[in-house]
Structure formats: C-alpha cells, structure tokens
Amino acid sequence: MWSSAFTVGQAALKAASGKVIKHEKACLDNQHVFIPFAFDTFGFLAPEAVDLLSRVQRVMRSNVMTPRSMDVVFKRLSFAIQKGVAAQLVARLPTISM
C-alpha cells in the first residue's frame, strides 16, 4: 500500500523554491532583489513572505500609529487569499444544465 505523508506548507516551500530558480538570475542581472512570495490554502506563508510582510507592517506602524493599523497587512492579505481560494473552488464546481 502506497502512503504519502502530507505536510502543511510543503507546497508553499516548493513553490517558493521554484520561483527563486525561475526569477532570481534575471533579478540579479538587473540589480534587483528577488523575494519569493508563496503561500498555500491552509494559511501557511513561506518564511520569505512572512519577513516581507513583517517589514511592510513595521513601516506602517512607524508611519501610521493607530490600533487598527497594527494588523492590517496580514488581515488584508488573509482576506485576499481566502477570496482567491473561494473563486478557484467555485470555478471547479460542476455546472448544472437544466
């Protein structure tokens, strides 16, 4: 019997690695920094994505000092990911013709 262990985050880490392989050289050649941004449908964010969002959040905190702004980056991203996943699921529903 074939069994494969499933690990949350494994797909995001693999996607991040693939993005680096695909884009890093072109970015370096043009003197840009490449930061892969990968996540999975279980809410896992690749470490590079978390670092980038944390940096954005720190900048927002230093420039916009309101209690509401503290978690806005992660909350908005979470909503955008949920919306995208929902759209993909709806698109895959079987069509019912009457």
Q: What share of the chain is helix, strand, coil (3-state, %, to 5)?
A: 60, 0, 35
Question: Cα torsion for 11, 17, 20, 22, to the nearest 10°?
Answer: -70
Mean pLDDT by 10 residues, the chain (98 residues): 71 91 93 88 83 83 69 77 82 77
Cβ neighbour number for residue 63 with a 10 Å cutoff: 8
The answer as to whether 2 is a domain residue is no
Split into its structural domains, the chain has a count of 1
How far, in Å, CA of 22 to CA of 41, rounded? 22
The answer as to whether 36 is a domain residue is yes
pTM of this prediction?
A: 0.62
The answer as to whether 50 is a domain residue is yes
The answer as to whether 51 is a domain residue is yes
Instruction: Specify the pLDDT at position 18.
Output: 93
Q: How far is CA 46 from the centre of its chain?
A: 7
The answer as to whether 3 is a domain residue is no
Domain assignment of residue 46, given as a range: 10-91
